[in-house]
């Protein structure tokens, strides 16, 4: 199991904190993932995958908005993650963010949990 050093990134409209919890990389984006910030979000996810971290939880409790570009960043990695027996889980979606994921069918492609603890428990079971 790999140890990730917790880190945080801040750009004008987005901050991203990453920490490891029980072998799962917990990504905590805060603010807005849009055309101006998507590259930082994408680099954070790609950085995890390039280090061999394939169990990823996006805790969206402080995410106010995600654009289609942000959703594309997630979609761009899911195949690699799942080929390596990992997954990208979603938790703590605010109502407006859930609506975006749901409208575009992401709630059918990804497992969504009400909170981080529930998602981590499901990750441990591989359920």
pLDDT tens by residue, 7-32: 555 556 999 999 999 999 999 999 99
With 80 as the cut, is the pLDDT of residue 80 above it?
yes
All domains of the chain in start order, with CATH: 7-125 (3.30.750.24)
Rounded to an integer, what distance in angstroms lies between the CA atom of residue 34 and that of residue 24?
Answer: 25
Q: What is the pLDDT of residue 125?
A: 72
State the pTM of this model: 0.88
The answer to whether 2 and 51 have CB atoms below 8 angstroms apart is: yes
Q: Which residue has the tokens 């990453």?
A: 18
Encode pLDDT of 26-71 as tens digits.
999 999 999 999 999 999 999 999 999 999 999 999 999 999 999 9
Cβ contacts of residue 22 below 8 Å, gap of 6+? 120, 123, 124
Buried b (16+ CB within 10 A) or exposed e, 88-119: bbbbbbeeebbebbeeeebeeebbbbeebeeb
């Amino acid at each position: 199991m790999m140890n990730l050093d917790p880190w945080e990134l801040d750009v004008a409209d987005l901050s991203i904190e990453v920490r490891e919890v029980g072998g799962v990389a917990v990504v905590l984006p805060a603010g807005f993932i849009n055309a101006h910030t998507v590259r930082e979000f994408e680099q954070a996810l790609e950085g995890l995958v390039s280090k061999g971290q394939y169990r990823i939880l996006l805790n969206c409790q402080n995410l106010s908005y995600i654009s289609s570009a942000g959703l594309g960043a997630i979609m761009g990695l899911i195949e690699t993650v799942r080929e390596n027996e990992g997954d990208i889980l979603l938790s703590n979606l605010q109502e407006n963010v859930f609506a975006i994921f749901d409208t575009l069918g992401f709630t059918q492609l990804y497992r969504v949990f009400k909170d981080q603890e529930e998602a981590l428990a499901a990750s441990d079971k591989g359920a």
